[in-house]
Amino acid sequence: MVLTNSEIKSKVEAYLKEMESRKSLKKVLLIGPDFTRFFSNAGFICNCIYHYLAPKGVEVVILEALGTHVAMTENEIKEMYGDIPLSCFVPHDWRNDVVTLGQVPGDFISGITEGLWTEPIECQVNRLVMDKSFDLVISVGQVVPHEVIGMANHAKNLFVGAGGSDMINKSHMVGAVFGMERMMGKDFTPVRRIFDYGLETFLKDIDIWFILTVCTAPGGQINTHGIFFGDTRKVLEDAIALSQKTNIDFVETGIKKCVVYLDPKEFKSTWLGNKSVYRTRMAIADGGELLVLAPGVERFGEDPQIDKLIRKYGYKGRLNTLEQYKKNADLRENAGCAAHLIHGSSDGRFKISYAVKNISREEIDGAGFCSASYDEMVKRYDPEKLKYGYNTLEDGEEIYFIPNPALGLWINKEKFKD
């Protein structure tokens, strides 16, 4: 089933009417995703909310849940969110514009990670979330398989999308040391339980409601398969159940060569583009190859500090990164980057080739990947001509093509059974 935008609008308005029956709404905070979640349909939903509330005199503020990503441009806001006035948008600043609510205790984290992480983690959120002038907070986003938490969204939108450095950095390291392949596509992972703890302990007195979507985007068109409303964990669990059916693709055997295309409008850094690694690693055969066609990638990190660290340490394996993490303060102070370096490496199990236009091949090689010429690769593996899934080229080479890695998770059925 795919919902039309008209059906989505009706469901959103019915939900808002229910809210109005419970309380008077004068000022509402929407927490919405950035352009990297364009295919969540959250932009359209926020537009529906704005046009329902604003004519009634309700002040609507939209907090961009950027996490560590760069702020959206005006054109990106307009393309994703439509005709909402730009003055409504406030970009989240994860380093400076947060308040600390309390700590997730180290003994709790140790218990859920099998002792792999024992440090406490500070729960931080953007100041606007705690602003008592808002009558209601609505967090809007997509549930989809995720490399750090298992399944994205719900409390993650608060503690990462609108969160602070300690939670972002350390939660990513928790995921890295516990093992992404133990978590992707699953609920009740250690990182999810950390966010649940923060929500239940520190935000229980804030009126926060969630609107969660489950989407795919065949041919670049958003298909919304479900939309879920509520202020309990059940809204997340219902969305996860549908996403597990919709966004996880099993292949019968390990893929020998996987080709992934990164839309240049969405992917401008390896920080984002490495979703091609995260989401396919459970499907690629030992000794196989992942070729990433990345015409828009022009940097490694989403900000200069992280970019510098990625260039310095590179995607060179879990054990190497953990050793560098122990030795170097700059990496310990940016634990989220260390986790990213672990996630972005295949640990030598398969080859990762990046074909780019806007970074030199020497820089790609220096970061631990194998470089390839984009112009040469796109002639052989033309994303306009390839179909999703298995393709056999004229010379008999078989590849598996994925046009957008952000919307799914691919798993080797043989390996998954093991």
What are 54-60's contacts with CB under 8 Å, separation 24+? Answer: 56/25, 57/26, 58/25, 58/26, 58/27, 58/28, 59/26, 59/27, 59/28, 60/28, 60/30, 60/84, 60/88
Q: Which CATH number fits domain 249-417: 3.90.226.30, 1.10.1060.10, 3.40.50.720, 3.30.450.40?
A: 3.90.226.30
Angle at the Cα of 341 (from 339 to 344), degrees rounded to 5?
110
The residues near 81 (Cβ < 8 Å, ≥ 6 apart) are 32, 43, 46, 47, 62, 89
Q: What are the sequence ranges of the domains in the chain?
A: 5-246, 249-417
The partner residues of 125 in beta bridges, in order of sequence, read 99, 163
Q: Find residue 102's DSSP bridge partners.
A: 123
pLDDT score of 407 = 84
CATH class of 5-246: alpha beta
Please name the helix (run of DSSP H) or strand (run of DSSP E) that holds residue 351, with its range, or none: strand 351-356
Distance, CA of 374 to CA of 293 (rounded, Å): 7
Mean pLDDT split into 10-residue runs, the chain, 418 residues: 96 95 95 94 98 98 94 96 98 96 98 96 98 97 94 97 95 92 93 98 96 92 96 97 95 96 95 95 96 97 95 95 95 93 95 97 97 97 96 97 92 75
In angstroms, the CA 370 to CA 352 distance is 6
Separation in Å, CA 133 to CA 1, 59, 87, 293, 302: 39, 11, 18, 46, 32
